[in-house]
Amino acid sequence: MRRVQPRRLSRNRDNTSILSGHAYTLELLSGSDRQCIELMRMSCEAYLRLCIHFRQRLWLQDSRHVSIEEKIAMFLTIIGHNGRYIVIKRRFQHSSEIVHKYFHEVLNAMMKFAKEVIVPTTFDPNPDIPENNRMLRRVFKVLVGALDGTLVHAVIPITQQTAYRGRGKGKCYQNVLGICDFNMIFTFVWAGWEGVAHDARVLTEIMAELNNGFPFPPPNKYYLCDVAYAKTRGFLAPYRNVRYWLGDFRRRRAMTKEEKFNHAHAKLRNVIERAYGVLKARFPILDKMAIMTQISIKDINYGKMIAIV
């Protein structure tokens, strides 16, 4: 008997845009730098150099239907605009599964890339302190950067939300420790700690593990930190129980030597606050992560996603 082949069901095409994801990526690359910066948060030249670097390092490879350039474009669009998978699916003409797969593929590559670029370039006193704070170098001659923690929104499984909920109006956050120089360039970032964890505990645990690669300053060099951290070798904290925050000095100028020290300290340490502010404004996914782009606990523990961007 002749074997009857089963009839293959016709598949309804879901994505019907004329412009495919590959064509859209080429349009970005051939367009203006302004368009590329607005959509992917970097210039065309920087974007191409990033793709070439990932290809040479073999961190990413072209798949049958999706190139490295398109994978990174989807990733940057998501983190740059907190885009949902459904939006990226329609824009790049791929299924949600494909978008999810390549998002995490690029994320893993970015983790490796972060270990290369987020490193201290030098421990010499930074000569590029802003002009209005340059006179403060007479007081702080051996500073190499500023250190502080911040809360970054995270989507956590229900069974683990208790440890991550706190200090954030009931939302789940991870506590991120960062160090930057006076050019607002991050030199160390570690993410993944629970939102309820104290900043001092995070720093202590990170320094205790040598594999974390914490950049200890050399002798007689210091990081600026606030009163949440202990004043020990390598960490210069302000006087306790003395006015410190810049807002405290708006109505009445510093009078005592302790207040003058704290005022100068706050002016310089404010660079880490501005760095966090610029980062969160540029990448809204750090402030409110979409449910559809949630990152697993395993990804969070690898840390350093914040500093990539």
Q: Which amino acid is at 309?
A: V
* The pair of three-digit structure tokens given for residue 169, joined into one six-digit string: 């109006």
The residue extents of the domains of the chain are: 21-117, 131-286
pLDDT given at position 166: 66
CA 75/CA 133 separation, integer angstroms? 38
CA 296/CA 293 separation, integer angstroms? 10
CA 199/CA 176 separation, integer angstroms? 9
Cα distance from N-terminal residue to C-terminal residue, the chain? 64
* The pair of three-digit structure tokens given for residue 305, joined into one six-digit string: 């996603």
Q: Which amino acid is at 58?
A: L
Instruction: Write down the pTM of the prediction.
Output: 0.81
Task: For tokens 């009931």, name the residue.
Answer: 170
pLDDT given at position 125: 55
Write the CB contacts of 29 (distance below 8 Å, at least 6 apart in sequence): 36, 44, 47, 48, 69
pLDDT tens for 163-172 read: 887 665 678 8
pLDDT given at position 96: 86
pLDDT given at position 8: 62
* The pair of three-digit structure tokens given for residue 228, joined into one six-digit string: 């949440």
pLDDT given at position 149: 92
Task: For tokens 């070798």, name the residue.
Answer: 233
pLDDT given at position 136: 62
CA 234/CA 185 separation, integer angstroms? 19
Write the CB contacts of 231 (distance below 8 Å, at least 6 apart in sequence): 237
Q: Which helix (H) or strand (E) holds 192?
A: strand 186-194
pLDDT given at position 130: 56
pLDDT beneath 70: ranges in the chain:
1-13, 15, 124-139, 166-169, 291-309
Task: For tokens 């993410």, name the residue.
Answer: 191
Beta bridge partners of 179: 147, 188
CA 89/CA 71 separation, integer angstroms? 12
